[in-house]
Structure 1
Amino acid sequence: MSDKPPKSDVDLEAEYNNRAAVPDHPLVMARWRADAEAARAAHPPTTLPYGSGEREAMDLFEAGPDAPVVVFMHGGYWQALDKSWFSWVAPALLKHGVSLAVPSYDLCPNVRLGRIVSQTRDAVELIRARTSRRPVVFGHSAGGHLAACMLSEGRASAAVAISGLFDLAPLIPTSLNDALRLDAREAAALSPVHWPVPNGSTPGGTVLDCVVGADETREFVRQSRDMANFWGGKGVETRFEALPGLNHFTVLDPLADPDSALVKRIAELARAF
């Protein structure tokens, strides 16, 4: 990914304000909530604490005692939502014999973004300790950022970043930064595009899928495409895919379908490692 910021004529507020860009997002999120409640009723999860804080816990939906476990990191710009919104992701993966862990984490502005990265690290390490293997990690938006961070650190066997954020500098002049409180130095330090690129000489995985909705803003498409190109040029096995007809919220719809290419890909990666 280029270290250069987006062109100055790009309206960064519009490009990164996904709720404004998708006026009917409340309907999609209401569906998430309803489907999550139904999934929890059909497949009651085990709650696993990974720390002492109130939000330092994850829901584990188990497919079986020896099933591979994948970890999903939710979005919300590190300042909204929690694990309970995304229980609906579990059923499709369970049908493939893959267990799912969904952690919550503390939110900005109550904590700094670096603390959220640390909490994600603790959650992934708990799954790794339980299974004696590095898990596949995947996440949406802010969760895509966290997934890439875990892959860079060698804590994951592979990562699938859906509508991920890999360069945080463009967020600084937007209203989203009211809660994040990023300056240029902190944004650079927490951007996985600037982190070590995973390679065959270091522990962990070297597979990164960057998936985005084709109907998302130009900046979100650019972030995923540029990250795949940048890490791919450094030796990582990357894939970039823009899913037709999907926006920043509906891009998650394939996760509800066990026959979707996205679910099959995550299950394939989980079994491969």
Structure 2
Amino acid sequence: MTSRAEIDEAYANASHIPGGMEYPARWAAAAAAFREDHPPQEIAYGDGARQRLDLFRPEGPARGTVVFVHGGFWRAFDKSAWSHLAAGALAHGWAVAMPSYTLAPEARISSMTREIEAAIGAVAGAVPGKLRLAGHSAGGHLVARMACADLAPGWRDRVERIVPISPLADLRPLIVATMNDDLRLDMAEAEAESPALRDQVDLPMTVWVGAAERPAFIEQAWLLAGRRNCPLVEAPGRHHFDVIEELAEPDSPLMTALLS
């Protein structure tokens, strides 16, 4: 049986990335600078303190909306750290929505799934047109959950593509991880909240992962892509922290996959 120490090491990122501990400050600074030039509209999608999303609108009518759900192992970050990643889609005339959601230990993952469902519903009400969903790590898990048959959101027929980036698709290994002291996953919830274990609806999906990521994340990406029978891209040279940078680049391969 895999030990807690082995699982913790398998999913550790910062210690395996040069300068890994510097990334959160870099993200926050880039996001703050972007918001100064592109002030978002904040929309409440519920009564909770973190049930808020930032909506960035392009010049002129939006072609649709990209929803980006942040990562952080369901325990860290909020919408304000990722604003700069809206640049790529905005340049193509898409609105971009970035929701916060209630984190563990205050909330369980099953509740976060419902919050993201509600957040996308609020986005669908605010901006007409098609939806594209992207999420990173835990956010990749949450957008992949939106394609599971146990959910039936009224907005799902507007979704043209989902791109989970470095997603966590099978939560069962995390039951023994230290992070589960906060997540409080038991086997029933881990199975119910694992996109790789749920029946799926027919939505276009492309799974994206960095080729230089930890093996556990590459395995999780392949597991989801296999379950979905959908394309998987291993981005050359990208690790878990820089794999999302192409969202800020209008003509990057990741943006092409998301918007094509």
Q: State the shift of 1:209 in Å.
A: 1.0
Matched residue SS, 1:139:
strand
**Which of residues 151, 159, 163 is equivalent to 1:160?**
163
2:64, 2:128 within 8 Å by CA — same for their partners in 1?
no
Correspondence list, 1:15-164, <5 A: 15-22=10-17, 24-63=19-58, 64-133=60-129, 135-152=131-148, 153=151, 155=156, 156-164=159-167
**Which of residues 225, 232, 244 is equivalent to 2:222?**
225
Q: State the shift of 1:133 in Å.
A: 4.7
Does the alignment pair 1:264 with 2:218?
A: no
Q: Encode CA deviations 1:202-256: one digit per residue, 9 max, x unaligned.
A: xxxx211111111111110011012111211xxxxx1101111111101112112
Q: State the shift of 1:94 in Å.
A: 0.9
Q: State the shift of 1:76 in Å.
A: 0.4
Task: For 2:97 and 2:28, locate their aligned partners in 1 and report how far apart those are by CA, in whole Å.
Answer: 17
Question: How many residues get paired?
Answer: 251
Does the alignment pair 1:189 with 2:206?
A: no
Task: For 1:11 and 1:173, locate their aligned partners in 2 and report how far apart those are by CA, in whole Å.
Answer: 10
Matched residue SS, 1:225:
helix
Q: State the shift of 1:8 in Å.
A: 4.4
1:98, 1:267 within 8 Å by CA — same for their partners in 2?
no
Q: State the shift of 1:132 in Å.
A: 4.8
1:166, 1:192 within 8 Å by CA — same for their partners in 2?
yes
Task: For 1:151 and 1:226, locate their aligned partners in 2 and report how far apart those are by CA, in whole Å.
Answer: 15
2:66, 2:89 within 8 Å by CA — same for their partners in 1?
no
Identity of aligned residues (%): 38
- Identify unmatched segments of 5+ residues in structure 2: none
Q: State the shift of 1:130 in Å.
A: 3.0
Aligned partner letter, 1:148: A
Correspondence list, 1:168-179, <5 A: 168-179=171-182
Aligned structure 1 segments of 4 or more residues deviating by more than 4 angstroms:
7-10
Matched residue SS, 2:134:
strand
Task: For 1:140 and 1:217, locate their aligned partners in 2 and report how far apart those are by CA, in whole Å.
Answer: 15
Matched residue SS, 1:72:
strand
Aligned partner letter, 1:212: V
Task: For 1:136 and 1:66, locate their aligned partners in 2 and report how far apart those are by CA, in whole Å.
Answer: 13
Q: Encode CA deviations 1:101-153: one digit per residue, 9 max, x unaligned.
A: 00000110011111111110100111223345552110000000001011224
Q: State the shift of 1:264 in Å.
A: 2.2
2:140, 2:165 within 8 Å by CA — same for their partners in 1?
yes
1:163, 1:224 within 8 Å by CA — same for their partners in 2?
yes
2:206, 2:257 within 8 Å by CA — same for their partners in 1?
no
In the superposition, relative to structure 1, how do residues 93 and 118 fare at CA in structure 2: closer, same or farther (>3 Å)?
A: same
Q: Encode CA deviations 1:169-200: one digit per residue, 9 max, x unaligned.
A: 0111111111101111110011111222112x
Matched residue SS, 2:103:
coil
Q: CA RMSD in A?
A: 1.8
TM-score, structure 2 length as denominator? 0.91
Q: State the shift of 1:67 in Å.
A: 2.7
TM-score, structure 1 length as denominator? 0.87
**Which of residues 204, 209, 212 is equivalent to 1:212?**
209
Q: State the shift of 1:19 in Å.
A: 2.7
1:162, 1:211 within 8 Å by CA — same for their partners in 2?
yes
